[in-house]
Every structure is written in structure tokens, then in C-alpha cells.
Amino acid sequence: MAEQEHEEHTKGGVYSVKGKEYTRDDRYITTRITKDGEDGFKVEPNRYRLVAARACPWANRTLIVRRLLGLEDVISVGMPGPTHDADSWTFDLDEDGLDPVLQIPRLKDAYLKRDPEYPLGITVPAIVDEQDGAVVTNDFAQITLDFSSEWSEYHREGAPDLYPEHLREEMDKVMRYIYTEINNGVYRCGFAGSQEAYDSAYDRLFTALDTISERLENRRYLMGDNITEADVRLFTTLVRFDAVYHGHFKTNRSKLSEMPVLWAYARDLFQTPGFGDTVDFDQIKKHYYIVHKDINPSQIVPNGPDNSLWLTEHGREALGGSPFGNGTAPGPVKPGEEVRPEGRADA
């Protein structure tokens, strides 16, 4: 099972309690989709729909892993818009405001289809059973690991092994550290309820970033010569760092672009097929700056930074290795799933 890491579970997203450290709810629908169907949901092509907003770092992971493994033709995807109200993510980017497959205006409808009294937050990513329109799982940490293991029969030819058996023990420790200290660390800063809580969170975050930077000085990827899920999990925080976290969450000791090793590493991944082509900077900024009204009451979305810098030379090839090992890069993005022009780094 995945290490226990978790997304916010409030009706309107994350929140803080004044004077206290931000903590993240850990209650999830942990039903799994497996080869043997032990939980009642068997791996089956064209049965399940991944609902994943591009704005959300946890959902962004699932989009990257789905693409790297070539699961686009067996697991469909629905993408809510970047903003939501206190009640639910909505499909406001789709025609008539309805998901074209599920035919619902709000993700909440799929949660209520599973449990009419569903008491927790309406989070992405979520996997919905297209047969009855009910959510199967929103346990994002397990979803991507199951994409690697349980869906292996449907991986594309040349797909990378993102969760290698011989590395799992070490990987689980690395991913746990990345989650607690970095993925969740930026939120701990942004939603700190007191100066003391913020100061502690700030120090903890940058200690971790420095530690990971040292790890990456002489190795191209977190686990060695090839990409793994650990890199996916770190990337989705790094790609949001300068656009959102540095200012909005007050993680401002350094910009990512001022941390040479991490900046080069992040650009290397961004320029790898399957990573940057899932990132929509416009949606990322709109989500954080508009939804988090307690942090940004004006809801003004900043114009910067210059996202074209993500396409500049990184020089990480000198460390050797190759992203896909003995495999190959994924092909072009599936038609209809392309990032909108205004959200791309080359816009």
C-alpha cells in the first residue's frame, strides 16, 4: 500500500486554525481497482474515468503517470476547471458545464452517487466508475502506484517502470520524506495559523529542499539514472514553486530558479514528454490565487513569472542516465487533452 499521505478534506479546501500548525486530513475512500477485483472493482479498460484538475498538484501526479504509462486509451479523463466553490469542483470548462461522459456539473454528484450522506471533502483526483457514475477512490497516493502495478497489462510498449521492485523500500522512504517535508511543507507554510507555526514550517521546508538538492547534485534522478514515481511526486511541487508557493504561501527564502540544482532538475523533467505537457500554468495560478480568498482576499492573479524559462537548457544530461531507461518516451498528447495555449510555457 502507498505511504500515508493525504490531500485536504474540507469542503472548500485547505484551511488553518489561528495559532496552530496546519494539518491535513487523512480520511480517504481507499477502495482499490485491482487485477483480482478484491475490493469489488476489477481492472477493466474503458470502465473508469479519472477526474483530475490540472491546477491541483496531487491530481497532476495522476495525469503524468497515466501519460507516462500510456493508459490514456483505457482510462478516460475528465478535467474540472481551476476554481471551485466551497461545495465542489465543477466542470465549467466543458460544454454546457457538464462532464461529457459522466454528464454531471459537479464532482460532488459522483461522490453522492456512492454515498448520499458522504461527509468529507470533494477532492481530486478521483476515479469514477462509468457504469454507475459513482466514485471508486480518491486515495491519490495509491492511485498512481496501482497504475504502475495493477494496470500493467495495459501499459504502452516501452513504458517506464515507475515503481521498481528492487527500489521500493528506499523509494517509499524518499517519497514519504518528500511528502511530509516538501509536498505538504509548502501548505504548512501557506496555512500556518501563527508566526511561530510559520517560522517552524519555513525552516523545515527549506531544510528539506536543501537536503534533496544535495541528493540530486551527482545523480540525475532521485533514485538514480531513470525516472520513477518519486520524481513525479517532487516535480508537481517544484513546478508550482515560483508561480504560486514563493509568493502566495510565503516560501520566499529562495525562488526555485535561485536553487541551481533543483531548478536544473525540474527543467530536465519539465522538458521530458509526460511532464511539462501536463502542466497548465494559467490554471495553477488561477486556482491558488482565486480560491484561497483567506490568503489573497483581492483574488488578483499575478502576471508573472516568465514561464518560458522552463524551456531553457538545463545541462543535466552530463550526469548520464536516461529518463525512460530501456524504454521509450510517450507519444504525442492525446487529441483533446492538450494544455490550452494560455497555460503553456511557450505561450
Catalytic machinery residues: 56, 187
DSSP line for 275-308: TGGG--HHHHHHHHHHH-TTT-TT-PPP----GG
Are 133 and 102 in contact by the 8 Å Cβ rule? The answer is yes
Amino acid at 255: K
Q: Provide the pairing of β-strand 48-51 with 126-129.
A: antiparallel
User: Helix 229-238 vs helix 57-69: angle between axes, to the nearest 10 degrees?
Assistant: 140
What does the angle CA 126 – CA 294 – CA 137 come to, to the nearest 5 degrees? 10
Are 312 and 212 in contact by the 8 Å Cβ rule? The answer is no
DSSP line for 178-193: HIIIIITHHHHHHT-S
**In terms of C-beta density within 10 A (0-12 exposed, 13-18 middle, 19 or more buried), how is residue 120 classed?**
middle
Q: What's the first-to-final CA gap in the chain, in angstroms?
A: 40
Are 234 and 59 in contact by the 8 Å Cβ rule? The answer is no
Annotated ligand binding at 89? The verdict is: yes
3-state secondary structure of 67: helix
Helix (H) or strand (E) holding 127: strand 126-129
Q: Provide the pairing of β-strand 126-129 with 76-78.
A: unpaired
Fill in the DSSP letter of residue 241.
Answer: I
Give binding residues for glutathione as ranges: 89
Residue list for the binding site = 89
